[in-house]
């Protein structure tokens, strides 16, 4: 077990994230003794395992009591630990809202993107869908058209998209933006979902994000 725990920690440090289907990750998620040993090793180094059953990957993060000692010298660490500027952080939250909020609703209802059925009475008995089956991409052109004036126009948005892709939040394929390995891991859904319009972005985006989300939901219903 010792070698497997060391291997998993080293791989997470080297690769930043691993899929839940990885053999050692699955062991960490299902074997209580292995998980306890893993968490003990990570805690000794000031780290913790980030695991979200709605996400396809796991990653490492600083332990809460290590955030101030490690990041305290950087002025931006309270809002983010990656030195993202205001426009990049706002774009990240917009993408989280456009991709993760609809995805989570589909997961709760156990509905995939191409599933025309209504919510089922015993949906909780179905396997939780993840990945591309429930996570719809966002059109880059539509993103710029909808939020360009608020998030720095096309050039700034494209630059920030490149930054977010390098960090693993998103994946860009031609003109479409997909969920990256970390987008559904590094945000606290329970805290952010209720604040996405009324909290940190209200002064920047107002009710516009809600209107866009409503329009996308209407389009999906028409496609069913």
Q: Cα separation of 28 and 59, whole Å?
A: 12
Q: Which residues contact 157 (CB under 8 A, 6 or more apart)?
A: 91, 143, 144, 147, 148, 151
Most confident of 24-28, 100-104, 202-206: 24-28
pLDDT category at 122 given cuts 50, 70, 90 is very low
- Is the confidence at residue 116, as pLDDT, over 70? no
Report pLDDT for 141: 94
CATH number of this structure's domain 86-223: 1.10.460
Report pLDDT for 81: 62
- Is the confidence at residue 145, as pLDDT, over 70? yes
- Is the confidence at residue 85, as pLDDT, over 60? yes
Backbone angles phi, psi at 76, to 5 degrees: -90, 0
Contact 104, 190 (CB under 8 A): no
- Is the confidence at residue 195, as pLDDT, over 90? no
Report pLDDT for 207: 56
Report pLDDT for 89: 86
Q: Cα separation of 189 and 186, whole Å?
A: 9
Q: Tell me the domain boundaries of the chain.
A: 2-71, 86-223
57-61, 131-135, 142-146: least confident range: 131-135
Segment 76-81 shows an average pLDDT of 59
Q: What is the CA radius of gyration of the chain?
A: 19
Report pLDDT for 218: 62
Mean pLDDT of the chain: 82
Tokens standing for residue 145: 């058209």
**70 or 176, which is more confident:** 176
**24 or 216, which is more confident:** 24
Most confident of 87-96, 186-195, 200-209: 87-96
Report pLDDT for 202: 55
Which pTM does this prediction carry?
A: 0.78
């Amino acid at each position: 077990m010792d070698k497997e725990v060391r291997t998993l920690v080293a791989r997470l440090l080297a690769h930043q994230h691993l899929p839940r289907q990885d053999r050692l990750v699955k062991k960490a998620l299902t074997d209580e003794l292995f998980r306890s040993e893993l968490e003990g090793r990570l805690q000794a180094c000031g780290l913790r395992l980030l695991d979200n059953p709605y996400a396809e990957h796991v990653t490492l993060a600083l332990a809460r009591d290590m955030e101030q000692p490690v990041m305290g010298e950087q002025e931006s660490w309270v809002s983010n630990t990656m030195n993202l500027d205001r426009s990049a952080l706002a774009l990240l939250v917009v993408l989280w809202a456009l991709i993760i909020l609809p995805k989570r609703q589909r997961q709760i209802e156990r509905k995939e993107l191409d599933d025309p059925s209504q919510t089922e009475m015993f949906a909780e008995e179905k396997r939780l869908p993840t990945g591309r089956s429930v996570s719809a991409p966002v059109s880059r052109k539509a993103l710029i058209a909808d939020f360009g004036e608020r998030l720095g126009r096309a050039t700034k948005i494209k630059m920030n998209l490149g930054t977010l892709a390098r960090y693993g939040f998103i994946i860009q394929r031609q003109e479409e933006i997909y969920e990256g390995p970390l987008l559904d891991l590094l945000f606290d859904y329970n805290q952010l979902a209720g604040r996405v319009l009324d909290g940190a972005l209200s002064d920047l985006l107002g009710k516009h994000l809600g209107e866009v989300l409503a329009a996308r939901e209407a389009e999906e219903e028409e496609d069913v």
